[in-house]
Amino acid sequence: MPQIKVYQGDEIPSPMRKIWLTFADNPFAFAGLWAVAGFLLLAVFGPLIAPYSAEHQDPQALLLAPSWDPAGTVEHFLGTDDLGRDIFSRLLHGAHLTFGVALGIVLTSLVLGFIIGSISGMMKGLKSSILSHLLDALLSIPSLLMAILVVAVMGPGLNNVFWAVGIALTPQFVRAIHQAIHEELQKEYVKAAKLDGANPIQIFWYVIMPNVWDTVIIQTTLGISAAILDIAALGFLNLGAQAPSPEWGAMVSQGMDNILTAPWTVTIPGVAILCSVLAINLVGDGLRSALSPINN
Amino acid sequence: MVRYLLRRLNLFLATSLVLFIVLFIVTNQFPVEQRFALTGIQSPNAQQIAQIETDFNLNSGVFNQFIAYLQQRLSGNLGISATSQRPVADELASVLPATFELAAVSGTLALMFGLPLGILASLSRHKVTQHTIMAITLTGYSIPVFWLGLTLSLWFGVELGWLPISGRLNLLYEIEPVTGFMLVDTLLSTSPYSTSAFFDAVLHIILPAITLAVLPFTVVVRITRSAMMTIMDQTYIKAAEARGLHTSRIVLRHALPNAVIPVIKSLGLMLGSFASYAMVVEVIFAWPGIGSWLVAGIYQRDYTVIQGGVLAVALIIIFLSIMIEVLHTSINPLSRKELYASN
Amino acid sequence: MPLLDIRNLTIELDTPHGRVKALERVSLTINAAEIHGLVGESGSGRSLLARAILGIPGHNWSITADRMMWDGRNLLEMSSKQRRNLMGSEISMIFQDPSSSLDPVISVGAQLIESMPAHKQTPFWRRTKKKKQTAEKWLHKVGIKNTERVMSSYAWELSEGECQKVMIAMAVANQPRLLIADEPTNSMEIQTQAQIFRLLSKLNQLQGVSILLISHELETLSMWCDQLSVMYCGQIMESGPTSEIVAQPYHPYTKALLDNIPNYSGEMNHKSIMPTLRGSAPALQHLPIGCRLGPRCPEAQKKCVNKPNLCHKKNRYFACHFPYHEEQCNDESTASS
């Protein structure tokens, strides 16, 4: 006989809280959230806690192995590269270049994409169709090719990476938001709101937007991980951040010369990129599964 | 159906036109003289200048210039490469097959392993199996491809010495290019070493193909899994069970065709990032495909090569994504329903 | 011997709110060649019962029963493979949503052919053709005229009625002995409903198929069924021959259902109160203890917090402490069949 509750007051959590509860229920997603918070802190305060500056060269410690290796020392926790620069400090200095710039790019293109996407999503007929053709063409240029075009016009450098990745990302946001809004517009409840006399702005903000936020959120997490990977790939190909910069992808490419004698110069920045992208993807995955029951 | 195909063709033409417009604008923005950016001729003599000006209609308005530009590009005149002094179109023709070969092999690998693994993942109700598969695919999705390529070549190529890490074929072999696909050419070749050359080509393609296959593989596993999980809860699966059909038959005949539809759709959406990854992989493994050619072009500021490469890759992607959409429609009766509704 | 004999079947569901007894000690007996109606409101566990009989449980179910006999064989002891074999050949089921019970990417004909029985004696090169002929024959039998068109269409190209007829053709093609029809006419027009019911009753008379007909409309069921079981919230309230139940319900719930049937004789006063039970059916996680009708029952007394046993009076069964019946049933004797 199970225990009998006399008064079964059922607490019904608000939608936001429900999403949070589902999200927090998933340990992986929660760990990802902590990791993302950690990376954010590093991106802001990394240079302050770094033991050395990014360009500081220690001629006594060239290609020093990480501290867990018998040859390594604790002074250079993750070892040094071929110029005697401390990899740990460079990683900390590079956090805001890779992770921070990625966030900046995504925020900028999210705002742009949101504005263009919502305007085009609310439009109908020829204008909307022209815009979607334009977007299809822009989307068919892979982000790396877009970056190559931008670099060809403006020359390599981290500033230009900002434009390159931003231009490649914006159409994705526009398209996702455009499609989400377009799909919602077809639904009956929008028609009902229209019959109630809502004007287009009210329909957009009060009727459609609440149902599009989850697309925006999911697209943002996807965008951040894509942006990190793109920045790193451009850095690796020497098209983005240039040689002395502690950007993580550029660090991998600088370590390539010594990959046989000192594999950690390649491995460690790579692991840093992997961890940051994995953290973002864990959060995105958790959010997606937390948001999906609402759709069903 | 004809009407639908015409509309897709129209979409292809319109999108390509937009692409040409974008490229035309970008070409005029290149930080070099316009004539050089258009043709790749470094220091033209007076006769060449006159030729270029008539070809590209440089003395009239922007619109006429664009029309001339379009005519030149569509007739196959992509200019000459500033570094090799060979026509860009010829160079393209020689590097494209290598890329196609690599992409085809890794795409096949991804589908061959991704679909079954996705199905297995969806059928297992075991928490540990599910979490393991999700963890593997999420890591595969997050891994930076250049780092993966380097690590793989370091392990299998250098430390274990099992596999070659650069190029398509050992330089010892001399194979007459017929199709451009090394795996086919080695078999077609009449040289006495053709079999060993074929195995050498296979060994060369393993590492780059696996590196490139990681992204589509993880996407295929994830999409297949989630699609299968939704489909296995549908009424028609329960109805098939109620008819007493065997579980394997239900999965293969009823669930899989339905699950493949979203997978195909996601393949179409993935083409862009797949192309980006392919370029990086080609650079790492010194694969003589369009990606490494293009990256070499940008290092040398070879603007005609950049234009030609971007144009070719983007056109291929537009074409493939439309083909995938047509395929999606043709195997999915449900989307044909929407088609009838919209017409 | 009854065809299907179920005693005290209990289905528990694992939900996020804990374990819920969705079906509590349900007993059901179906004899050969009868149409057995199962009436209850939606959410009363009718579909669960149907799926439990058929053997396609959900993954969070746990099923216990004192007895579950199919034609003298114990269903509970069968392996899932044996159950699956039984499903195709002896028990079949049609679902409430016919168009979504057909695979959307395969043509109807292919699915129909797939479910046709294999003719072992025909040589294999003629089997495909033979199966196609059988499929067309069955489509004819269920009343589809242009078989060619229906066979080559997809599920969404057909109307709900046509889909349901195809489903019935699939279900009866193997000549099952029991057909479970779970709300076969849900969301259909009256004309189509009547067609489907006529078809089912014809099958019952001509082929001797037993049918378990599940519906929420007592009125329709009482027209077509020989036997009737009334369910409420996962408990069987009353069971017996349709004519007797309609003439003299023993259980307050059955009476309430019968009173609910609108009276078309014109004797109702204008704006008179329509007789219904107070309140509404409880949610699965807030079930009352004892008799689940308790809080809504007009006859309820203190004793109703204990679950009444199923009483047996002649060929009627009912589970109530205060039935509309002269003599009380002694509670300890569970009905012996």
Taking residues B186-211, report their average pLDDT: 83
Q: Percent of chain A scored above 90 by pLDDT?
A: 6
Which residues of A are less than 8 Å from B143 in CB distance? 274, 277
With an 8 Å Cβ cutoff, is B75 touching chain C? no
Rounded CA separation C280/B30 (Å): 74
Which residues does chain A have within 8 Å of residue B146's beta carbon, measured at their own beta carbons? Answer: 232-233, 236-237, 249, 252
Q: Which among C85, C95, C105 is the nearest to B332, CB-wise?
A: C105
pLDDT at A4: 61
Nearest to B325 by CA among B270, B274, B268, B259: B268
pLDDT for residue C337 is more than 50: no
What does DSSP say about strands C316-318 and C311-313: parallel, antiparallel, or unpaired? antiparallel
pLDDT in tens, A149-192: 888 888 777 788 888 888 888 888 888 888 888 888 888 888 89
Q: To the nearest 10°, the Cα dihedral for A167, A168, A173, A179?
A: 120
Task: Report which of residues A170 and A50 the model is more confident about.
Answer: A170
What percentage of chain B has pLDDT greater than the value 70? 97
Check A8 against C285: CB less than 8 A apart.
yes
Percent of chain C with pLDDT over 90: 0
Average pLDDT over residues C236-259: 84
C190-222 residue pLDDT tens: 887 888 888 888 888 888 888 888 888 888 888
**Chain A residue nearest residue B230, CA to CA:** A296
Contact B144 A266 (CB under 8 A): no
How confident is residue A295, by pLDDT bands cut at 50, 70 and 90?
very low
Task: For residue range A6-18, list pLDDT tens digits in order.
Answer: 555 666 777 778 8
Burial of residue B61 (number of CB atoms within 10 Å: 0-12, 13-18, 19+): exposed
pLDDT class of C334 with cuts at 50, 70, 90: very low
pLDDT of residue A110: 92
Residue A279 — very low, low, confident or very high, per pLDDT cuts 50/70/90? Answer: very high
Domain residue extents for chain B = 19-74, 100-342
Task: Say which of B125, B244, B334 has its CB closest to residue C156.
Answer: B334
| Whether pLDDT at C335 is above 50 | no
C-alpha–C-alpha distance, residues C36 and A106, integer Å: 63
Q: With 0-12 CB in 10 A as exposed, 13-18 as middle and 19+ as buried, what is A157?
A: middle
Query: 3-state DSSP: chain A helix, strand, coil percent, rounded to 5?
Result: 70, 0, 25
DSSP-derived secondary structure letter, A206 = I
Mean pLDDT for B135-142 is 86
Average pLDDT over residues C121-137: 79
What radius of gyration, in Å, describes the C-alpha atoms of chain C? 21
3-state DSSP helix/strand/coil percent for chain C, to nearest 5?
Answer: 35, 20, 40
The CB-side HSE value for C167 (13 A sphere, CA atoms) comes to 35
For residue B75, pLDDT beyond 70:
yes
Which residues in chain A are closer than 8 Å to C286, comparing Cβ atoms? 8, 10
Q: What residue in A sits closest to C16 (Cα-Cα)?
A: A22
- Chain A interface includes C85 (CB < 8 A): no
ipTM attached to this prediction: 0.83
User: How crowded is the C-beta side of A65, counted as CA atoms within 13 Å?
Assistant: 7
Among C223, C192, C233, C227, CA closest to C211: C227
Q: Name the least confident of A122-131, A230-239, A266-275, B258-267.
A: A122-131
**Contacts with A10 from chain C: Cβ below 8 Å:** 285-286
| Contact between chains at A144 and B280 (C-beta distance less than 8 A) | yes
pLDDT (0 to 100) of residue A3: 59
Minimal-distance CA residue of chain B relative to C95: B239
Give the class (CATH, top level) of B100-342.
mainly alpha
DSSP H or E run through A99: none
What's the mean per-residue pLDDT of chain B? Answer: 83
Helix then strand count (H, E) for chain C reads: 10, 13
Whether C32 has a pLDDT exceeding 50, the answer reads yes
Residue B147 forms contact with A (CB below 8 Å): yes
In C277-296, the residues whose Cβ lies within 8 Å of chain A are 285-286, 289
Average pLDDT over residues B11-19: 85
Binned at pLDDT 50, 70 and 90, residue C332 comes out as very low
Tokens (6 digits) for B316:
């291929």
Contacts of C283 (CB under 8 A, 6+ apart): none
pLDDT value at position C336? 38
Summarised one tens digit per residue, pLDDT across range B168-198 is 777 777 777 777 777 777 777 777 777 888 8
pLDDT-derived band of residue A111, with 50, 70 and 90 as boundaries? very high
pLDDT, residue C333, reads 44
Query: Quick check: C203 and C94 in contact, CB under 8 A?
Result: no
C178-182 and C91-94 strand pairing: parallel
**Phi, psi of C14, deg, nearest 5:** -90, 110
Question: B239 and C102: CB-CB below 8 Å?
Answer: yes
pLDDT at A5: 59
Mark yes or no for CB contact C286/A8 under 8 Å: yes
Q: Which of C193, C132, C204 is nearest to C164 (CA)?
A: C193
Q: How far is CA A71 from CA A52, A172, A269, in A?
A: 20, 48, 20
- Count of CB atoms within 10 A of residue C133's CB? 13
At residue B161 the predicted structure's pLDDT band, cuts being 50, 70 and 90, is confident
Q: What is the largest CA-CA distance in chain B?
A: 83
Q: How many CB atoms lie within 10 A of CB B17?
A: 13
Helices B194-232, B88-123: inter-axial angle, 10-degree rounding: 50
Q: Of the candidates B29, B151, B318, which has its C-beta nearest A153's C-beta?
A: B29
Task: Write the pLDDT tens digit of every residue in C256-285.
Answer: 888 877 767 767 677 777 777 777 777 777
Which pairs count as long-range contacts for B188-195, CB under 8 Å and 24+ apart, including other chains?
Answer: none
